[in-house]
Structure 1
Amino acid sequence: MGIQKILNANAQYGVPVKIFTNDIDQESIEQLKKMAQLQFVHSHIAVMPDVHVGKGATVGSVIPTKHAIIPAAVGVDIGCGMNAIRLNLKASQLPDNLAPLRYAIERKVPVGFELHKQIKAKASSVIPLEKRLQPIIKKHPGLVRMLRKFDATWQKQLGTLGGGNHFIELCLDENQDVWIMLHSGSRGLGNVIGTYFIELAKKEAQHRFGHVPDKDLSYFAEGSNSFDDYVEAVEWAQEYAFENRREMMRLILEAIRPLLPPFQMTKEAINCHHNYVSREHHFGEDLLITRKGAIRAGRDELGIIPGSMGARSYIVKGKANPESFCSCSHGAGRKMSRSKAKLLFSQDDLIHQTQGIECRKDSGVIDEIPSAYKDIDQVMANQSDLVEILHTLKQILCIKG
C-alpha cells in the first residue's frame, strides 16, 4: 500500500501531510496540522503507519525543514534506535530453560535508572565522546547542573538499557536462526540535552519564519548561535546512542557465551536511529530531515521494525520511496497511553499475552502489554511501498527496563 490519506494544504495550514495509513486518531491529525503550518517545512510531511500523538511533534512523522530545526520534534530520547545481530546458532542449540540467559544479561546490563558501578565502555568509545562533549558544555554549562554527577553518570550509563519501551530480546527468525535485538537511546545525558534545548528554543522564541502554532514547535533558525550549538549537541547525543547500543551488545554477548555452544556473529548486523535529525537531499533540495519515530529506508538500506513484547518484529530493506523521504515506521506504534493500558489490563492479561516468552510478567510492565500497541502485521502491510521484508523475528526472551 502507498499513501492512504492526505491532509491537503489550505488557508489554515501550509504543506500537505501524506499519511501511509488510515489508522490515525483525531488528536494526531490536529497535531500534524499545526506542524504543517510552519513556513520552513519543505514539500510535505510524511507520516508512517505507526503514527500516534507525541509531545510537540507526532510520533511516526518525517519532517523536512529548510534553514530551521525543531528540538521538540527530535525529542528528548535523542538517537533512540535499534541494534540487531544474527548468530550462527539454531533454535535447537538453545537450552530448554531460558531464564538463566535472562538473568545473566540482566546482571551484565543495568536497566531502568540503573548504571554501571564502574565505567564499562572501552576507552576507544569514551575518549572521543568526552573530547567532543567539552566544547558543548563550555558554551552551555547549564547542562552540567541538570545531570547528577555529570561526568560519572554519562560514562557509566554507556552500555545500559534505560526504561519505558526499551528492551533486549533473543529472537528466532523464519529459518530458526538466533538473533539478538535491542532498543535504546542516549540515556540521561541525551534527555538533558533534549530538554535543555527545547526550553531554550521556547525562551528565544525566534520568529524569522512567522507564527508558531504551538510553543512545543519552537525552532532555531539557521545562522543563529543556538542553531549551530543544538546541531553540535544533537549530533553528539546521536553518536552516544549509537555507541551505547554497540557497547550493550558487547556486554550481552559476554553474558550469554558461557551458557551457549560456541558461536559467531554473521555479517548481518544493523544499528539504526529512529529519533534523530540528519542532512539529506530530497526533491532537489538540501534539507534537514527529522525522523520522530521513523527509520531511514534508503535503497537497499537495512532496518529493524520491532513489534510489541508479544508480537513479531521485522528486518527490512528500504525501497527509497521519495514520498516518505526514504523512511519507514520505527515499530508497531502505541494505540493507547501507558496510563490507559494500566487501567484496562491486569497482570493476568500480561501473563496470557506473553505466554511462551521468558520475560518479566509483573505489574511493573503492564503498560508495555502487547494489546497497548497496534497490530504490527497491519503496520507492515501499510508500508509495503516503503520496505521489503527480509526476516521475520519472534522473540523467545525479552528484558524490559
Structure 2
Amino acid sequence: MAKLKLRGKDLIAIGYPQGKVISIAIDIMLRHYKRDRKDKVVQRLKTVLKTPEKYIGDGIMGKIAEELMQPVKVEAQKLNTQRAPFTIFGENEIQEEAKHQLYTALKLPVAKAGALMPDGHSGYGLPIGGVLATENAVIPYGVGVDIGCRMCLSIYDINVSYLEGHKDKYIQMLRDHSKFGGYEVHKNIPMHEIFEHKGFSEIPTVKKLKDKAFKQLGSSGGGNHFVEFGSVEITDPDNEFDIPPGKYLGILSHSGSRGLGANIAKHYTKLAMKQNPLPQEAKHLAWLDLNTHDGQEYWIAMNLAGDYASACHDDIHRRLSKALGSRPLTVIENHHNFAWKEEVEGKEMIVHRKGATPAGKNVLGIIPGSMTAPGFIVRGKGNEASLNSASHGAGRRLSRRKAKTMLTGSEVKKMLRDHGVTVLGGGLDEAPMAYKDIHKVMANQTELVEVIGMFTPKIVRMDKN
C-alpha cells in the first residue's frame, strides 16, 4: 500500500485553522497512520476538530486536541538575574563546574529552591547530586537519562563467612543470575505486572519500547551499575525492620530503567528544548509544563520507567534469593534519579533529585561507597534546606576519561587485593580511586541522615565480564 500523502491544504479544506496545529497533525498522522487510506485519516482529523475536548489526554490525538483548544506557546526563555534560594553541603569538596551548573538551574523562571549534595559533580542539565524544586514544570534532564536509577539491598540471615569459604559458589551465582550491558539478557523472562501499565499501551513513544523493556527485565546497565555480595552490619538496635544488631549477608544492586528510560529521556528532552528554548548554557534544563499534553505524558512515562527499574531489581534479587535458597529478612530500596510531587514551604512543587537520595523524616535509603569502600543504610532527618535529600553515593573525584588515563590496572588490582574484594568486570573508569572518600561525604551530611547500618562489598559484578 502506498504511503499516506497529506498536505496542509487538505486540513485547511476541512476547517483546520492555519498555524502550528496543521504541522502537528500532519506529523502525527504520518507517524501513526502512514499506511491508512487518506479518506480515513481525513475523517479522523474531522472528528478531532469537531469535538477536541473528547481527545484531551489521548495518546495519539491528544496533542492535536490540545493545540486546537489551548495552543502551547513556544517562546525563547530568559534566565532570571537572581538565583532561587539554595544550600550547598560539603561545598569545599565540590568542583566549581558542578556549582555553576546548579547556579544556572536556580535562574530558571520555574525554579523555586535548590540544593547540592556533598557528592556533587558535573553532569548534563542539573549536576549530579543536584536537587531542584520547580513550580508545575518537570525537567527531563533534571531527572536524568537513567530514569529511576536506584539502589536495592536484601539482607539475609546467612553467615558472612560463607562469602570467603564458598567464594567460587557466590561468584558463579553472580555470573549465572546477573546480566549487564546492552546485549546480555536472561533466557527465561517471567511476565511481570509492570507490562500491564497503561503507558505501554497508551503512549505511542513508550509502546514502541515495550519489547526491548521485556527483553531487558532483570538486567543492569554499564558504567557504575553493579550487583554485589557483601557484609551487612546493622548498628541501630531500634531499626525499622526488627533485625538485631550484628552481621548478615547482603545483596546490593544499583541500576536503572535501561533502554526504556534512556529513550524516554531523549524523546521528551527534545520536546522540552523545542517548547522552552533556553540560552546555550542552560539548554539542557528545558522543561515541560505539567498542564500540557507532553508534560503529562512525560510524567506518566517517567513514573513507568521508575516502576520498571524497581521491577528489574525485584527480578535480580528474586533470582539470587532462589540461588541462595533463602528469603531476605528485609529489603531496603530507593530511587535517586527521579522527580516527585512534594510540599516545599507549604506549596506543591516538583522536586528533581538527579543523583540524590530522598531523605525525608524517617525515610530509609542506601548510600553506596565504591568497590572497596562501605555503603550506608541511612534514615532521613527531613532537612528542609536540602529539600529532604542526601547524597546518592561517594561521587566522582575523577571523570571517566581522567580515570582511564591516570590510573593503572596494577594499582586497582592491588587495592582490591588489600581490601579482600573480588571484582568481575568493571574498568579503570570505575576504579575505587576514581571516587571521593565516602567517609568525608558522610561527614558532610550528618544533618541530613543518620546511619543505621553499613554494607561492605566482597564480590562485585559489573559490565565487561
In the superposition, the TM-score normalised over structure 2's length comes to 0.76
Please provide the CA RMSD for this pair.
2.0
Counterpart pick for 1:255 among 310, 313, 323:
323
Query: Structure 1 residues 68 and 152 mapped into 2: Cα distance closer, same or farther (>3 Å)?
Result: closer
Q: Give the match for residue 176 of structure 1.
A: 247
Query: Structure 1 residues 256 and 113 mapped into 2: Cα distance closer, same or farther (>3 Å)?
Result: farther
In the alignment, the residues of structure 1 paired with residue 318 and residue 346 of structure 2 have an alpha-carbon distance, to the nearest angstrom, of 41
Any idea what the Cα deviations from partners look like across 1:173-203, whole Å, max 9, x if unmatched?
A: 3333111110010011111101111112112
Any idea what the Cα deviations from partners look like across 1:40-93, whole Å, max 9, x if unmatched?
A: 111x21111100001111110111000211111111100001000110112234
In the alignment, the residues of structure 1 paired with residue 423 and residue 163 of structure 2 have an alpha-carbon distance, to the nearest angstrom, of 16
Counterpart pick for 1:359 among 423, 441, 449:
423
Question: For residues 2-401 of structure 1, what are the structure 2 equivalents within 5 Å?
Answer: 12-21=81-90, 22-42=92-112, 44-118=113-187, 120-121=189-190, 123-129=191-197, 131-137=198-204, 140=205, 144=208, 150-174=209-233, 175-205=246-276, 213-257=281-325, 263-266=326-329, 268-355=330-417, 356-360=420-424, 365-401=427-463
In the alignment, the residues of structure 1 paired with residue 288 and residue 188 of structure 2 have an alpha-carbon distance, to the nearest angstrom, of 35
Gaps of 5+ in 1: 1-9, 145-149, 258-262
Deviation at 1:115, TM superposition (A): 3.9
Specify the structure having the higher radius of gyration (Cα).
2
Letter in 1 for 2:108: L
Letter in 1 for 2:422: E
SS at match of 2:180: coil
Letter in 2 for 1:335: R
SS at match of 1:214: helix
Any idea what the Cα deviations from partners look like across 1:362-396, whole Å, max 9, x if unmatched?
A: 6x511100110000000001010011100122111
In the alignment, the residues of structure 1 paired with residue 188 and residue 289 of structure 2 have an alpha-carbon distance, to the nearest angstrom, of 38
The aligned length equals: 370
In the superposition, the TM-score normalised over structure 1's length comes to 0.87
Query: Structure 1 residues 213 and 359 mapped into 2: Cα distance closer, same or farther (>3 Å)?
Result: closer
Query: Higher relative contact order by CA 8 Å / sep ≥ 6: 1 or 2?
Result: 1
Deviation at 1:125, TM superposition (A): 2.6
In the alignment, the residues of structure 2 paired with residue 116 and residue 135 of structure 1 have an alpha-carbon distance, to the nearest angstrom, of 26
The answer to whether the 8 A contact 2:153-2:253 is kept is yes
In the alignment, the residues of structure 2 paired with residue 32 and residue 127 of structure 1 have an alpha-carbon distance, to the nearest angstrom, of 36
Letter in 2 for 1:367: D
Gaps of 5+ in 2: 1-78, 234-245
Deviates more, 1:78-87 or 1:164-173: 164-173
The answer to whether the 8 A contact 2:356-2:390 is kept is yes
Query: Structure 1 residues 227 and 11 mapped into 2: Cα distance closer, same or farther (>3 Å)?
Result: closer
SS at match of 2:382: coil
In the alignment, the residues of structure 2 paired with residue 212 and residue 219 of structure 1 have an alpha-carbon distance, to the nearest angstrom, of 14
SS at match of 1:264: coil
In the alignment, the residues of structure 2 paired with residue 158 and residue 370 of structure 1 have an alpha-carbon distance, to the nearest angstrom, of 28
Deviation at 1:95, TM superposition (A): 4.8
Deviation at 1:16, TM superposition (A): 2.9
Query: Structure 1 residues 290 and 334 mapped into 2: Cα distance closer, same or farther (>3 Å)?
Result: same
